[in-house]
Amino acid sequence: MTQHDDDKLHEEAEAIRRETAADAPELEEHDRISELEAQLAEANSKGLYAAAELQNARRRMEKELVDAKAYAAASFARDMLAIKDHVERALAAVTEELRADATAANFLAGIEATARELEAAFQRNGVTRVKSIGEALDPHKHQAMMEIPSDDAEPGTIVEEMQSGYVLKDRLLRPALVGVAKKPD
């Protein structure tokens, strides 16, 4: 190899080195752009997740608010059930001869009017009585207190109600206390 060939090779190598060095900032810039695009995509993804979570939280809060409004009277209604029970027991205990007495009849008319008003208030507010007698035992609505031997009813059918059960809209306020038929021994 001659000096001229050697110089030429040296110049070509230097040109390649300069070219590579000139491309290096471009490669670094390209890597930086790729990195920033990846960070932007991650930030967008996190933003979408946060927005979805916020929307889900808002929906849960709206549902809880609707439920709170719908069932706010549940505690009060439970308390009123005890009063209703007492009024019904008082009316059930009245004999025919007591009804014949004029003074007692006026007193009873007031108690019956109170019972009707109480029932109307329950109806207006979505408090309804649980159907029991003749129904199959439903552990979500009834509480079996005893088994009663019966030839007339299928086993598991409610034949006696000791205390009425009530629901507020679709929520159980109080289960009905019932006697359930069983096969006679």
pLDDT-based confidence at residue 69 (cuts at 50, 70, 90): confident
Tell me what the mean pLDDT of segment 68-77 comes to.
Answer: 83
DSSP string, 79-92: HHHHHHHHHHHHHH
pLDDT digits (tens, 9 = 90+) for 34-45: 888 999 999 999
Task: Indicate the domain borders of the chain.
Answer: 1-71, 73-125, 127-185
| The pLDDT value given to residue 161 | 94
Nearby residues of 70 by Cβ (< 8 Å), 6 or more positions away: 126, 169
Q: Model pTM greater than 0.75?
A: no
Q: Which CATH class is domain 127-185?
A: mainly beta
Q: What integer best gives the mean pLDDT of the chain?
A: 87
